[in-house]
Amino acid sequence: SQQGEEDPQALSIQEGENATMNCSYKTSINNLQWYRQNSGRGLVHLILIRSNEREKHSGRLRVTLDTSKKSSSLLITASRAADTASYFCATVSVVGNTPLVFGKGTRLSVIA
Amino acid sequence: DAGVIQSPRHEVTEMGQEVTLRCKPISGHDYLFWYRQTMMRGLELLIYFNNNVPIDDSGMPEDRFSAKMPNASFSTLKIQPSEPRDSAVYFCASSLGTGGVVEAFFGQGTRLTVV
């Protein structure tokens, strides 16, 4: 079963704008990760945030985590056409040592 | 390292035929995962191995699906007989640990079309 659900399903913005994607999950987690998938390619890891962290930055990426609301957000600042891709959140449950469970992703289109 | 290598990249087969997908994980990684991606269901975990041993195959849709990992550097996912509803992109991924603490590395995927 899928744990994470991304919102929105699709997002279209102009180059230079910020893009925000959200992820909600159902059970308690060990950590949450965001991945990116370019069309026709495999997934690439972007960033990991642990359950005891609230915010994390990596370059133009900013991830927040609210464990009380069971939600996370990924912000891409100053978007570029090359950011066009699908973005997935993936969670690992605290119950056991379980592998990543992915949502269906957000398709981001950045228009030049 | 060349990353996770999957073959073939594309496979078109007729219904009823046997299909074998192959994966070479990153050297030194002790976990290997097989995922299936479709528009309708997203990314589904089919099975994963730890040190070549299958840990959880509850995601394997039917007995027509089987997976093996004969050694640390090779895994196969077999579908026999194949059906049109098996058409999807199949990804192999590997990680050091469960993938929950450290990142998972994905191959480029095999796009399977069953006609």
Does the structure show a pLDDT above 60 at A92? yes
Average per-residue pLDDT for chain B: 93
Q: Is A33 on the interface with B (CB under 8 A)?
A: yes
Q: B112: closest CA among B34, B24, B25, B32?
A: B34
Place B101 in a pLDDT band, splitting at 50, 70 and 90. low
Q: Is A103 on the interface with B (CB under 8 A)?
A: yes
Best probe of the B interface among A100, A101, A102, A107, by most B CBs < 10 A, is: A100
Q: Is B93 on the interface with A (CB under 8 A)?
A: yes
User: What is each CA distance from B82 to B2, B42, B88, in whole angstroms?
Assistant: 30, 20, 12
* Stretch B37-63: mean pLDDT: 92
Q: Does B103 contact A33 at a Cβ distance shorter than 8 Å? A: yes
Angle (CA) B62-A106-A79 rounded to 5° is: 150
